[in-house]
């Protein structure tokens, strides 16, 4: 068997980094002798996360454009030229068989140069609204793996394969972990459990809403697992003194938290949405409005259009949260319908399907 070489590029956020790592892990399991190299943006989180996962990474001097005139924006042309030259050097030296991009600014120069050197390339778009880097690369790569329908709005139809987003496989077994999850979080069996997620750093608007509506939620005979995020834990940990409330900076056993939950409130990043599809519980999405192209709202709308979740926009939360939550928590049939519908659109074998597409490129 040939000793294959793969370059993976994606970063800036966990939504781009973790899919790349999942794809690398699956390729490594299939080709134990293969060599891997990651390329990211220097000074971004991938420079820490990727080595922790056991892979070498090289950083490019690249960052996105800001919405206002800044020194960083003025430097962008120089950063882009530097990154293109460095990417060319990386490709010439490493000689990859396939290059894989999962979004983020570093993947732009790397895949651009890969296609110029005629290296087969694949991109994986996690969101329902394509990122600018992947839209620019679409005409040059051989294959585009997507997670949502109707992505021909952004990409050539003949290159699109609907695979879904890579997710943790331990979520496939959460139905059997209900009792373990209840015990882990010391929950009461006679109450519904609300799981609130704002990402590892936290979501200010969701935290403020929960702080404001805490007593109302508890009055519905609901107990709460509240992931506040590292940034906000000090501000909200005081609520741990309240019965039936657990405020945590981070949850390291998400499979057990999902298993114990009856209702979930979450942001709508691509990774979170894909996980929640597998979990199959009723979800209220409160998307972050502070992301490129408002893609979280579009992710949530794609699920809501299939009657598989509830969308509550941040600006509407103060007025709408109480009636929306009260109706859901007391309507067992609605909970069942949303849970069943979101699970129907899950794509649990996404990583395997993406690897299959990579293999096709190896054979070309």
pTM: 0.85
The domains spanning 5-166+348-362 and 170-345 adopt the same CATH topology: yes
Q: What is the pLDDT of residue 64?
A: 56
Q: What is the pLDDT of residue 76?
A: 64
The CATH superfamily of 170-345 is Glycogen Phosphorylase B; (3.40.50.2000)
Would you give per-residue pLDDT tens digits along the chain (364 residues)?
Answer: 678 999 999 877 767 888 999 999 999 999 999 999 999 888 777 888 899 999 999 988 876 545 555 655 666 677 778 788 899 999 999 999 999 999 888 888 999 999 999 999 999 999 998 988 889 899 999 999 999 999 999 999 999 999 999 987 778 889 899 999 999 999 999 999 999 998 766 789 999 999 999 999 999 999 999 999 988 999 999 999 999 999 999 898 999 999 999 999 999 998 899 999 999 999 999 999 888 778 899 999 999 999 999 999 999 988 999 999 999 999 999 999 999 999 999 999 999 999 999 999 999 8
8 Å CB contact between 258 and 339: no
* CATH code 3.90.1150.10 for 5-166+348-362: no
Query: Residue with structure tokens 């293999």?
Result: 359
Angle formed at CA 291 by CA 285 and CA 292, multiple of 5 degrees: 125
Biggest alpha carbon–alpha carbon distance for the chain: 63
Binding-site entries for UDP-N-acetyl-alpha-D-glucosamine: 13-15, 127, 168, 200, 251, 296
Packing angle of the helix pair 270-279, 295-304 (nearest 10 deg)? 20
CA neighbor of 195 nearest in space, from 267, 266, 249, 277 = 266
8 Å CB contact between 37 and 93: no
Secondary structure class of 150 (helix, strand, coil): coil
Binding-site entries: 13-15, 127, 168, 200, 251, 296
In the chain, what is the straight-line distance between the N-terminal and C-terminal CA atoms, in Å?
Answer: 16
Q: What is the pLDDT of residue 80?
A: 74
Domain boundaries, the chain: 5-166+348-362, 170-345
């Amino acid at each position: 068997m040939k000793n294959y070489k793969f370059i993976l590029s994606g970063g800036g956020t966990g939504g781009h980094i973790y899919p790349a790592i999942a794809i690398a892990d699956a390729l490594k399991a299939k080709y134990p002798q293969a060599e891997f190299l990651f390329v990211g943006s220097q000074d971004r989180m991938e420079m820490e996360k990727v080595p922790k996962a056991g892979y070498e990474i090289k950083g490019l001097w690249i960052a996105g454009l800001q919405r206002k005139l800044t020194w960083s924006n003025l430097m962008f042309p120089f950063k882009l030229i530097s990154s293109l030259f460095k990417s060319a050097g990386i490709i010439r030296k490493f000689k990859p068989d396939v290059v894989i991009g999962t979004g983020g600014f570093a993947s732009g120069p790397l895949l651009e140069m890969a296609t110029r050197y005629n290296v087969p390339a694949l991109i994986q778009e996690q969101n329902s609204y394509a990122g600018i880097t992947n839209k620019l690369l679409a005409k040059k790569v051989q294959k585009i793996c997507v997670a949502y329908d109707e992505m021909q709005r952004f990409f050539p139809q003949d290159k699109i394969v609907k695979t879904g987003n890579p997710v943790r496989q331990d979520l496939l077994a959460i139905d059997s972990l209900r009792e373990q999850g209840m015990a882990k979080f010391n929950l009461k069996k006679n109450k519904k459990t609300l799981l609130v997620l704002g990402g590892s750093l936290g979501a200010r608007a969701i935290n403020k809403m929960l702080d404001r509506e805490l007593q109302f939620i508890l009055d519905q005979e609901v107990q709460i697992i509240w992931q506040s995020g590292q940034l906000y834990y000090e501000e909200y940990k005081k609520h741990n003194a309240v019965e039936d409330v657990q405020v945590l900076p981070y949850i390291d056993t998400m499979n057990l938290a999902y298993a114990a939950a009856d209702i979930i409130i979450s942001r709508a990043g691509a990774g979170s949405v894909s996980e929640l599809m597998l979990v199959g519980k009723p979800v209220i999405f409160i998307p972050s409005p502070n992301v490129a192209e408002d893609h979280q709202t579009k992710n949530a709308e794609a699920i809501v259009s299939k009657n598989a979740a509830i969308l509550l926009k941040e600006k509407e939360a103060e007025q709408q949260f109480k009636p929306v939550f009260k109706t859901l928590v007391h309507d067992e049939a609605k909970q069942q319908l949303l849970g069943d519908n979101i699970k129907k659109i899950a794509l649990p074998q996404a990583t395997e399907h993406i690897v299959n597409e990579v293999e096709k490129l190896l054979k070309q």
